[in-house]
Amino acid sequence: MKAALLSVGTEILFGQITNTNTVYLSQKLNSMGIDVMYHFTVGDNPGRLAEMIEISFRDCDIVITTGGLGPTQDDLTKETACSVMGDSLVMHKDILESIEKRVLSYRTVMTDNNRKQAEMPSRCRVFYNDAGTAPGFALDRVNPQCPEKKQWIACMPGPPSEMMRMFEKSVMPWLEELSEGALYYRELRTFGIGESALETSLLPVIDGQTDPTVATYAKTGECSVRIASKRKTREEAKEAVEEMINRVMELVGDYVYSTHGEDYPSMVGRLLIERGITVSCAESCTGGKFAAALTDISGISQVFDRGIVTYSNAAKIQELGVKSETLAEHGAVSEETAKEMAVGIRRVSGSDIGISVTGIAGPDGGTDEKPVGLVYIGLAWGDEVICRKISRNIKDRDGNRTNAMLSMFDMIYRNILC
């Protein structure tokens, strides 16, 4: 199966937003064994949009669009897809009801353009939207060049959070129904190794690969390895993937924290809840990112008691009981301060685990002795207090903060949960 990705939106052509949807969809489709042949972006213009759909269908079976499904006048993807695929819009009562329910929960009136969002192609498969008002859909037509074959278009909204939820919940299962043979894939998540080093370590299984395929992907602060196989049955594909996972684990197992694609905050949060281990955190350079990532998980209130962001020295002393002598002698960014912060947050919260972080995120504020990228993470549990030092030497504030936050999850996982 071959696919084209078609992004709709003048804001992309203006360079106002970075098109991350195509990155996400390319990774997902490739990992499902669907070849991505093109990325196209057009503005909110039905003529050019229709032309690009037809151009895509010259050598692709599926066109996946994002954007242009909103309630406003320049949102014309639905109408255009309908006319290219030979269908027409009709009002879907159940969609209208769900939009009404959503809109009236935060506003007093439904507008005509909200009502328009409930009009959908008559013979489409609807993809419901959990996170916004615009539903998505899939439509097919007979391939004009080859009448025994079909062509498909799937249309999703542009905002990444809506699109990703819809893709995972509805579009992926639909694509799995369409594709011949059975695909099985797994994502291994690693932490603490860069992408080029990871790929070099995996060369024995990457070189000359046909099936299963093994590919590395860099994510923010970490890398993942995707292993995919397409066989006659799902069982055969699964077996081939699992065999390859064993080989990959022999080569880079030390860095793998999840063999099922689960990210660090979700995995650590799940394990803490399952085992009833409580945690509190004291953050400096990450400024609340660890607490924010952990509390993304529904139900975490069972084990997360409190987090304190101590940006000033006064806050470190008052909130956590860090000694002023420690700050004077070793500085706020030091092993000693990190350890006292971890012990302090554990004491004030009464949690099983106290985790702390202090560092220099940059871009400014570094010295020769304590450069930007220097971070200390403290961990206190039971009678133990340990500290990890990280020296990245990169003036990338966001990268340093994300890396420090993920390292906190890594510390908890490696020392307590794994």
326-385 binders of its own copies (CB under 8 A):
348-350, 361-364, 373
CB of 270 to its own copies, least distance (A): 15
Binding to its own copies (CB under 8 A) within 380-409 occurs at 391-394, 396-399, 401
Maximum distance among all Cα pairs of the chain, rounded to whole angstroms: 81
330, 331, 336, 341: CA torsion to nearest 10:
160
Query: By C-beta, is 122 or 324 nearer to its own copies?
Result: 324
Position 273 contacts its own copies (CB under 8 A): no
Cβ–Cβ < 8 Å for 4, 40: yes
The 77-116 contact track toward its own copies, x by CB under 8 A, reads -------------------------x--xxx---x-xx--
Terminal alpha carbon distance of the chain = 40
Which residues is 218 bridged to in the sheet? Answer: 223
User: 406 and 222 in contact (C-beta within 8 Å)?
Assistant: yes
* Chosen residue from 46, 135, 212, 307 binding its own copies by CB under 8 A: 307
3-state secondary structure of 105: coil
Distance in Å, CB of 58 to its own copies, minimum: 8
CA distances from 385 to 94, 347, 353, 356, 409 (A): 57, 12, 10, 11, 16
Rounded-to-integer distance, Cα 157 and Cα 21, Å:
10
* Number of shown-chain residues binding its own copies (CB under 8 A): 113
- Helical (H) or strand (E) element with 120: strand 119-121
Which one among 41, 83, 259, 415 touches its own copies, defined by CB under 8 A? 41
- Of the candidate spans 125-133, 136-144, 172-180, 334-342, the one that interacts with its own copies by CB under 8 A turns out to be 125-133
Listed ranges 77-85, 233-241, 286-294, 376-384: which one lies at the site for its own copies (CB under 8 A): 286-294
Residue 151 as a binder of its own copies (CB under 8 A): the answer is no
Considering only 304, 376, 381, 409, the residue that binds its own copies (CB under 8 A) is 304
Minimum distance, C-beta of residue 239 to its own copies, in the bound complex (Å): 20
C-alpha distances in Å from residue 160, one per residue of 23, 72, 105, 230, 387: 11, 18, 23, 28, 37
